[in-house]
């Protein structure tokens, strides 16, 4: 996986690459830069609102930052998108994660 610096360099040349924003967000999440990760997931979703796994991992980041309510709201949105796009795998994973947060909350 490229480093944060490499991903930022790629995005400097192509700021509308949803996948690169997603990848950058995952890297920020790994180093617990939660605010930067959420901002990168948000940018990914602004470019491609149907990027289902961005909702999933944004929710993971929000949960790690202690914001379960916002994580649940993010998953609810992602679940709706997965239904609209017919992404059965994402539907199952987002739905399962959402249920676990609701039960745990």
Give the gyration radius of the chain's Cα atoms.
13
- Per domain, the residue ranges of the chain are 4-104
- Residues 56-97 pLDDT 10s: 999 999 999 999 999 999 999 999 999 999 999 999 999 999
- Residues 22-47 pLDDT 10s: 999 999 999 999 999 999 999 999 99
Answer yes or no: pTM beyond 0.85: yes
- Identify the CATH number of the domain defined by range 4-104: 1.25.40.10
pLDDT, residue 105, reads: 57
pLDDT, residue 104, reads: 74
């Amino acid at each position: 996986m490229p480093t944060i610096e490499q991903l930022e360099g790629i995005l400097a040349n192509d700021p509308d690459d949803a996948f690169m924003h997603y990848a950058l967000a995952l890297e920020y999440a790994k180093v617990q830069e939660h605010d930067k990760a959420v901002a990168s997931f948000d940018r990914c979703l602004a470019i491609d609102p149907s990027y289902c796994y961005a909702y999933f991992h944004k929710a993971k980041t929000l949960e790690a930052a202690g914001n379960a309510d916002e994580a649940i709201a993010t998953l609810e949105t992602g679940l709706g998108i997965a239904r609209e796009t017919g992404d059965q795998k994402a539907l199952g994973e987002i739905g399962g994660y959402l249920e676990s947060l609701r039960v745990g909350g």
